Structure 1
């Protein structure tokens, strides 16, 4: 090129080569598939190109039965050991009192501490055995799938499998909602997109629990469970939104049931629930370090100081050097992934965390902080969202855990509340990763108390309807048009009067597609 030095020509050519490599697949470097990606392709090939889905679910069930038996043995042994320890303590105290030398508080505390350590050791031993069983089952399942894949390609689709411990029953009856109604809507300005809206009275737990007869070891062919397994690696995913507190390991009836379901059903595709929650907790600590550091450096004030000093108290391993914290922390994986944008704002914005894999750095240490500061760095802010992925639930592949606050529980919030910002982020994430079917608690809670009147419930539902409608209309500017299904869940205790009132509110909020009625004149002139 005239007027350019050889160095400038080399620099320009390198720039163009990098641009082509980053934007065109045929020029990019081919990276080898990871073990997880290879397993995903193998699983998808089997379930889509063979009638093996019943067999696969039957194998998973047989492993789950073995896991349940081990967990029942653990719970029984821990319970028996606890009762034995309490009897021993009572015998020791009674014997000492009879001998005229009652135990001191220090001696009693020492005995309790000793028995507690023994119980901890027992539980730790059992957890190690269960972890070993999980790893063994996962490896055996993947080896068996490899064998099935070879059989399908070499034996004309014949599957090698026999297991007398798993009995195949008739198709199980799915749990149905108490009340439900479906609508078809069209959203958009010029090019309208059809979507499906459902309003139903249903417990969110029913979307997670499969119909299994544990007493007889019978595997029930649950159609919802089969559909979930068939679409596990597809672009037709389902997810449930749950509004939670400000803790990752929050306490609620739903989380207790979810943990129980996940612990008793084998997870062969993703990390187990405890590992995912621990990953999220580590990411939240790192994110809060950036949030609080940004607030301190941006505002010149310190809300976290314990003694009024000007230095921000941060966990070990974090920095407070004022560097730019708006970098992207990548949490991408083969299935789900998202970037966390730590914006330097006076009010930290909600973030979307994915329970896939660690962000790359170890979690900062909190051991030198007071319990109060540790809780602050581990807490979610209203509007934060973290995601757990599942292959062992009945009707959903992922659960969005959306952080709320007291205003959500008190039904005292507006459309500007951070929880709605988090819900908007969920819609963006769902669009990016092909989550087509989304279940949303209409009242942003899975329970309804007696003090929540009909007027309060209708007001809350109308607010959620309008916000979701706005998110769906805005979504048409983010991606190509694609039909989606939004299912609004009402708590089990909802009355028929509330359901029909909210049905009318939904019809007033969304442009419902009404059938065309044509009158035919039976007496033509």
Structure 2
């Protein structure tokens, strides 16, 4: 629908033009046409152009408003709402990509289906784990070379700096030259680190692409022959998959794979009428040991855990772990060690941990709305204590998702209550578990990963009682949330805890929860 509007030049009312709206031609060309037709002076071009732009903009707005009102009046007069809904539903599906019907499965969906079929085929599982081990060995070898070169560069720089400092005392060199040397050393370190990061990322990306292609070809061969042959080779070479030494023997720093023997397991019943059965476990361990990468083929327990993780990857029985961190996520402490652990091998199913954290930091800037202000009136931006970010993994042990919970110094306070932000964050985590098929969750019982001086027996007992009672309340509340059930809970206490304190915490658990005890009949 078009309309014709009469334009009059405000500086000279004798100059006018009829303009068809909405305007399809360039306003600049229209102004030149009026100047030529009305024989105006060239210096009036800017004023005429501004007048035309204001006129077109104002009349376009009025024209659009009039059309909108007419369409709205027609809609209000129609009694059949279903026809209107069907009309707009069709428009959204045809014009908007996010609402349109999918024409086919994506590459990720096809790969996940192929991997799930092969890993549950029985015959292909060992072959796939050997391929993953060979790739992890290559990454570990590259990481070892990186660490050796950086260590050698650091030592050479320290020796050079010590010699130059000796010359400063004799007056042969100035402090400015020392500063320039230090700046050069920093640049050398940065350049070498970036070079190795690029090299390792390139290797991981190549491995990811080759592994996914190999899995698809493996599935095609499996479907053709039904029985997999043992002669399948690694995607990285035409030779048969090699047997590599354990990853833990390649890296300099390793975690102790042996979990502490301080451990108790319980089966509990919750609910008054419809009782639900849950498995609860309390143990003393380093939380990183529970999700470290188990590629040591000589350790049967670790291999069993790795197999269990692979089998549950594309199912509705996922595993989650709660990790405490500061608002920078990857700056220090356990979080930094966890990121190093997750980076030791390629992740073939999801983005790398570094890429996921980059995306999180990018979106964290908009995490707070414009209306959310602090008491001082300044706007909050980014992550704050109590926020939780989630990373996904397929190359860890018994952890498909990690909940990174932001904490601060109030974590060690002795007057924490059930309304504290950490307790509320645990509730939100458990709610996410019910919504996304996470049936096993690991929680730090004392809300800390290491023992500190303030963690006395009384403090540990009070903190554990608070966490256990709140988690029990959330578990009862889960029945109204819908979704999957959080069937397995694992409470972890720091590895340095004394046996006496651990036994007191383990004794507290069945007193808070209702433990399922068998009924024993004695024969008379």
TM category (shorter chain) comes to 0.7 to 0.9
Q: Alpha-carbon deviations, 1:228-278, whole Å to 9, x = none?
A: 0110111001111122223222411x2233222222122111111111112
Q: Alpha-carbon deviations, 1:111-164, whole Å to 9, x = none?
A: 221232122222222222111111111111111111211111012221423535
The answer to whether residue 507 in structure 2 is matched with residue 504 in structure 1 is yes
2:510 and 2:276 map into 1 onto residues whose CA distance is 17
Give the aligned CA root-mean-square deviation in angstroms: 3.0
Name 1:390's counterpart in structure 2. 393
Does the CA contact (< 8 Å) of 1:387 and 1:398 recur in 2? yes
Residue 229 of structure 1, aligned match among 270, 291, 310 = 310
Residue 325 of structure 2, aligned match among 244, 260, 265 = 244
Does the CA contact (< 8 Å) of 1:184 and 1:513 recur in 2? yes
Does the CA contact (< 8 Å) of 1:64 and 1:264 recur in 2? yes
Does the CA contact (< 8 Å) of 1:168 and 1:219 recur in 2? no
2:266 and 2:408 map into 1 onto residues whose CA distance is 31
Name the SS for the 2:396 alignment partner.
coil
1:419 and 1:133 map into 2 onto residues whose CA distance is 39
Structure 1 position 8, deviation (Å): 2.4
Q: Alpha-carbon deviations, 1:197-222, whole Å to 9, x = none?
A: 11222221121124445xxx979661
Structure 2 unaligned spans of 5+: 1-73, 93-98, 234-238, 247-255
Residue 372 of structure 2, aligned match among 272, 283, 295 = 295
Structure 1 position 498, deviation (Å): 1.8
Name 2:354's counterpart in structure 1. 274
Q: 1:437 to 1:137 in 2, by over 3 A?
A: same
Q: 1:185 to 1:163 in 2, by over 3 A?
A: same
Residue 404 of structure 1, aligned match among 407, 417, 431 = 407
Does the CA contact (< 8 Å) of 1:238 and 1:395 recur in 2? yes
After TM superposition, the structure 1 stretch with the greater mean CA deviation from structure 2, 235-244 or 32-41, is: 32-41
Which has more radius of gyration? 2
2:169 and 2:498 map into 1 onto residues whose CA distance is 59
Structure 1 position 504, deviation (Å): 2.5
Alignment of 1:98-109 (within 5 A): 101-109=171-179
Name the SS for the 1:222 alignment partner.
helix
The answer to whether residue 243 in structure 2 is matched with residue 166 in structure 1 is yes
2:165 and 2:410 map into 1 onto residues whose CA distance is 50
Question: Which structure shows the bigger proportion of residues in helix conformation?
Answer: 2
Name 1:372's counterpart in structure 2. none
Name the SS for the 2:516 alignment partner.
coil
Alignment of 1:115-154 (within 5 A): 115-154=185-224
Name 2:44's counterpart in structure 1. none
Residue 159 of structure 2, aligned match among 87, 99, 105 = 87
Q: TM-score, normalised by structure 1?
A: 0.75
1:504 and 1:20 map into 2 onto residues whose CA distance is 62
Structure 1 position 482, deviation (Å): 3.5
Q: 1:97 to 1:442 in 2, by over 3 A?
A: closer
Alignment of 1:107-506 (within 5 A): 107-159=177-229, 160-161=232-233, 163-166=240-243, 175-213=258-296, 222-252=303-333, 254-288=334-368, 290=369, 293-296=370-373, 302-304=376-378, 377-378=381-382, 380-479=383-482, 482=485, 484-506=487-509
Q: How many residues align?
A: 428
Does the CA contact (< 8 Å) of 1:93 and 1:102 recur in 2? no
1:151 and 1:454 map into 2 onto residues whose CA distance is 60
1:481 and 1:211 map into 2 onto residues whose CA distance is 28
Does the CA contact (< 8 Å) of 1:196 and 1:483 recur in 2? no
Q: TM-score, normalised by structure 2?
A: 0.75
1:89 and 1:483 map into 2 onto residues whose CA distance is 57
Does the CA contact (< 8 Å) of 1:166 and 1:219 recur in 2? no
